[in-house]
A and B are shown apart, each in its own frame.
Chain A
Amino acid sequence: MSRHLWISARILALLVAVYAVRSVSPVHAVARPIVAVSSGTINRNERSEASQEYPNEARAIPVEQYASPVEMLMSPNGARLYVLCQESGEIQVLDAFSGRVLKRIGVGRVPRGFTLSPNADKLYVASSWDDHVAVIDTQRLQVIATWKVGAEPTSIAVDHSGTQLFVANRISNDVAVLNAKTGSEQRRLEAGRGASYLTMATDGSRLLVTHVYPNLGEYRTVPESEITVIDPHNAHVVERMPLHSIAGAFHVALSNDGHLGVVAHLHPKNLVPLAHVEHGWIFGDSITVFGTDIGKGIHGSVEVPLDELDRYFSYPFGVAIAPDKRHIYVTNAGADVVTVVDVSKLLAYIHAHPGGFAQNLGASAHYVTARIAVGANPRGVLLSRDGRHLYVANRLDDTVSVVNTSTERVEKTFPLDGPKTISALRKGERIFYSARYSFQGQIACTNCHIDSTFDGLTWDLEPDGFGIGIVDNRMLEDIRNTAPYKWNGSNPNIPTECGIRTEKYFWRSQNYNDRQLADLTLYIRSIPARPNRWRLPHGQMTSAQERGRALFVRSKDNFGNPIAEKNRCVYCHSGPMGTNQTSFDVGTGKRTDLSGVFDTPQLTNIALTAPYLHDGSARSLEEIWTLYNPADRHGRTNDLTKDQLNDLIEYLKTR
């Protein structure tokens, strides 16, 4: 089913990646990238990019569809390994011993999480772009049902009785409780922002939820995330365990006895001016351990750094605790390694340092016992029941590494079905997710653009001075036609944004070469917008959205006075992307800004990307106008009634 479309480099600037959506069927029928050639006009910026990206015209780029494994499960008898493949939208069923692919089952677009029923007769798969759960009969290895759930289902868990499913919805920030027999939704439980990963305690007494985005907080304050603890029996949230200073929490694991918990996460330093990279200046890569083994009760938690003084282990993602609780295994997705933590040494170090040691880069020497090199962008991990083997899903290698936990070496590598050639796009994606280009491997593009999106944080970049030019991190979805880039609009194209500027002020180390920059640019330009959950089918709108659209384009205010053309929403936020690609001063500048003139941001999936404005000072769309538009310079809005403002916002959410 793989397609190879070879396209001349001279027209690559015209490429538009779109996703052809196919209906779910049991046989590998999923989202599939198609490359189409646009006949539209090339604007100046595109011409500029094209010339920079491909100086040699003879280059051809293969467009492939890769498996991109992210999660794994094993059948109870240990014979089958189920591998969740995010890009190909399928489950590949492997012989767990030989690695042979037995079956490929299409499940929907961008699946991110799955779980087995208690008796293992069903596999439930959350397809994040289709907002559904696919139910697979594990005997027939066929999809037997699809159930609609909330917005962007990302992880799924089942209770011990097999009667209730819990689905973490990343966009709606909640956990849906479904009837496991019928798929009917029984309840929604409010989680934190970006609810993404679920882990059920072995005894079924607790369900833990982690979040890829921090909860919305006050302007320029320390990011806070949480582990939402759910009582599965009563389907109630029973606790919100704070993760102080954490933004970007991924997998969470519990020991079999439930006394030790571990969550992998990022510790950003977004409030400190980014003067340099060394000494963990931009990100810390860490885990938080909690539970009664820590000695402080369930409420106690300790952040544990995984980095070293001169080497960083970027993007801790997957985590597993050995059955005998002797070791914790963490995938470092940006560093292509698995970190092994000795639990007894860790606990001893924790007890010897009751004041904490989250910022001590010399701490990991006392409890990290191995760094095991695996494939590219390792994500989910799975321990065999006896704990002797650790399976690692290498997302950007399309392989599964099998690690012998005694020797701490990769014993086997299972290749998954899919293309064997590596396209330029894929190379660009690997660059995006690899920390190897930054100084000492501390950060990758994805550190701030989680899963190629955003991080919900504001940053203090160095070039314009300390404490000056605070910027909100903008989303990368569908940005190819939104040049210029950067809030001050100073970068005319993506190669400028990601090339020398990134090398100097982010990586602080030798960048990728020109060809790699071209690959990266190709990838970034190909990042699609995820489905907009506020749009109705066939372009229909709710009445509120219709009213909001009328306000968006209106030329007279509520008092019948004409609104100057340049003060209408639609003037700056024009065109399909919601930007006229021009900078304006709309009165949002602060004393920390060198200039009040900012690039008009695109409106793509604007509902998701709080906080807002160039510096992230508006925590909601509403605050843009209720707090930061006193003189109507950011559009004429002060005449609007509350209901009208709500309508305008309802419309904006559809963009």
Chain B
Amino acid sequence: MKTLKRLLEPRFLTGILCAPVVLLSGLAAQNTQTSHAPQAAVPTNPLHPLTVIVSAAPTVLYPPEAGTNAHSKAAIIAPEKNMADRLYPDGVHLLLLQAGKATPLVPEFVASADANVSFDGKSILFAGKKTSADRWQIWELEIAEHKLRKVIGGTTNYFHPLYLPGRRLVYSRQTSHGFELEAALYDGTDRLALSHLGSQGTPVDVVAEDVLEDGRILFQTGFPMGVSGGSTIRPELYLVYSDGSGVESYRCDHAATQKLGGRWGGRQWSQGSFAGDVLFTHGRTLGRFSSPFASEVSMAAPAAEYAGLTETPSGDAIVSARHTARDRFSLMLLRPGTRIWKSFYAQPGMNLVEPVVVSSRVIPRRHPTALHPWTTANLMALDVRISRDGNLTTLPSKVQVEALGASGQAIVLGTAPVAEDGSYFVTVPGDKPIRFALLNAQGRIMRAQRGWFWARAGEQRICVGCHSGPEQAPENHLPGILLKTTVPVNLSGEAEGQK
């Protein structure tokens, strides 16, 4: 622990951050594993300062075989079990990898997983059980002092915590209808439900993956969102602000997930040529979202099954990978965008998944919530005809709003007129799964959302069109519906004035 203490001294952390970017510089072959990549270009450095925390489990159930609907955590629907028990049926614990050695991070816990490093690199959030009778709880560890603090815990299970700016954290909380995102202050107070998907009849899991530089939470759930079961469901990456507003797909090139498999395990890169990009597991390879592009950018990567990746201070990646389902996951050091990798660490009989590098990093921007004190939300579209799936040539007559009932049934809340320019303006229930459909003059559905989404209570939001994609900016056009009225059609299911 003394060594770890020294590693966490500010000067040492500075050294980690300032390490020059060299092709796989400082790569330490700390354990041997077959490498399928050229070795010549990969220098090694036995003094590599990387400190890594990883979840170690004898058995892991992800990523499952292709062709099933269970491509990730979020798609494994087994509400009778909590998430970690589903993923790690034979137990899991966090390992600290340092200078070629692995030691249990929190040996006083019977189970631990899902490590996330604080922005200053000094503390770790994780999910853990001190005794086998415990529920999974959120804990924080001050690494240098090995000081433990329970952050969130109670009668249900909590997983996958991430630090948020503003002394808050986000995590998944088990509910009667799956795992939902929730945020709280560091001391566990001021809890705020962020996601609102699923019902008792249709449970859905939502898992936070990363907090982006711009302050939004990158999370994973199935696509179409809010739909459970079915062979076509694939995990997909979404975004939401830290107050639960603004939920949307990161990109709308969803056909790619049908082709290559689900996208999950996203991490935003901060260094090197991929700085700002989000790298993730996509089926049996890695994928990348990059700011200039409206669709996923392919990137070279060794063919493998991946179970998490993390960025080193030099912009390289430590990935959890295995070649086949018969193998164990081990850690590989990979230069993103190449097929050059080298073993970083492996442990016989153990799967090492979801690694995180212990280092300081830039604090993401805090999102200043501007939610109104309402129970409902106001939503507008500028032109419902605009769609990534092809613009409608006929103007819909009405828009219909549905809410998800407790047993999974769709409940029609009502319809609102579409103005001549394709705009509409409605009030919808806040914090509930809803979806839209466009109706023609005869009341028949012209297009309908396949999935569900939510609007936060007090949110006011405008879409360019229906499924127009994040690449579509609005025309500077006064919405025709506002020329008729500035009062939204109330489809909230609440009486007027209950805002």
Chain A interface (Cβ within 8 Å of chain B)?
220-223, 245, 267-273, 275-276, 278-281, 284, 305, 307-311, 359-362, 364-365, 368, 439-440, 462-463, 465-468, 500, 503-505, 507-511, 592
Contacts and interface: CB of A to CB of B under 8 A. Distances in A.
8 contacts: A272-B475, A273-B460, A276-B246, A284-B473, A309-B294, A440-B214, A468-B486, A509-B367
Interface stretch (B69-77, B409-417, B439-447, B477-485): B477-485
Contacts of A463: 370
A198 B370 CA distance: 43
A305 B471 CA distance: 12
Contacts of B380: 273, 275, 466
Nearest to A244: B476
B472 interface: yes
A440 B276 CA distance: 11
Given A365-B293, A462-B460, A466-B425, A510 B474 contact: no
A467 B474 contact: no
A509 B368 contact: yes
Interface string B366-407: 111110000000101010000000000000000000000000
Contacts of A223: 476
A267 B472 contact: no
B237 to A, nearest CB: 13
Given A272-B474, A305-B473, A467-B486, 12 more contacts: A272-B477, A273-B460, A278-B246, A279-B464, A279-B470, A310-B214, A368-B292, A462-B460, A466-B378, A500-B368, A508-B370, A509-B215
Interface string B273-299: 000100000000000000111110000
B6 interface: no
Contacts of A220: 478
B497 to A, nearest CB: 14
B474 A359 contact: yes
A508 B478 contact: no
Contact of B461 (A221, A275, A364, A505): A275
Contacts of B104: none
Contacts of B251: 309
A269 B365 CA distance: 24
A500 to B, nearest CB: 7
B100 interface: no
A466 B482 contact: yes
Nearest to B473: A280
A222 B476 contact: yes
Contacts of A307: 473
Nearest to A246: B476
A161 B75 CA distance: 75
B291 A309 contact: yes
Interface of B: 165, 214-215, 246, 251, 276, 291-295, 365-370, 378, 380, 382, 425, 460-462, 464, 470-479, 482, 486, 488
Given A359-B472, A468-B486, A509-B367, A309 B214 contact: no
A76 to B, nearest CB: 39
A514 to B, nearest CB: 14
Given A359-B473, A465-B486, A466-B378, A510 B292 contact: no
B43 to A, nearest CB: 26
B481 to A, nearest CB: 8
What 4 pairs across the A-B complex have the smallest Cβ distances? A280-B473, A362-B294, A467-B482, A365-B292
A317 to B, nearest CB: 20
Contacts of B378: 465-466
Nearest to B278: A310
Given A276-B461, A310-B214, A466-B378, A362 B367 contact: no
Nearest to B477: A271
Contact of B471 (A269, A361, A439): A361
A360 B246 CA distance: 20
Contacts of A267: 476
Given A223-B476, A280-B474, A510 B365 contact: yes
B250 to A, nearest CB: 9
Given A279-B464, A463-B370, A508-B367, A359 B214 contact: no
A247 B253 CA distance: 33
B232 to A, nearest CB: 26
Given A309-B293, A364-B292, A509-B215, A281 B471 contact: no
Contacts of A273: 380, 460, 462, 479, 482
B292 A362 contact: yes
A439 B478 CA distance: 23
Contacts of B479: 272-273, 466-467
Nearest to B239: A278
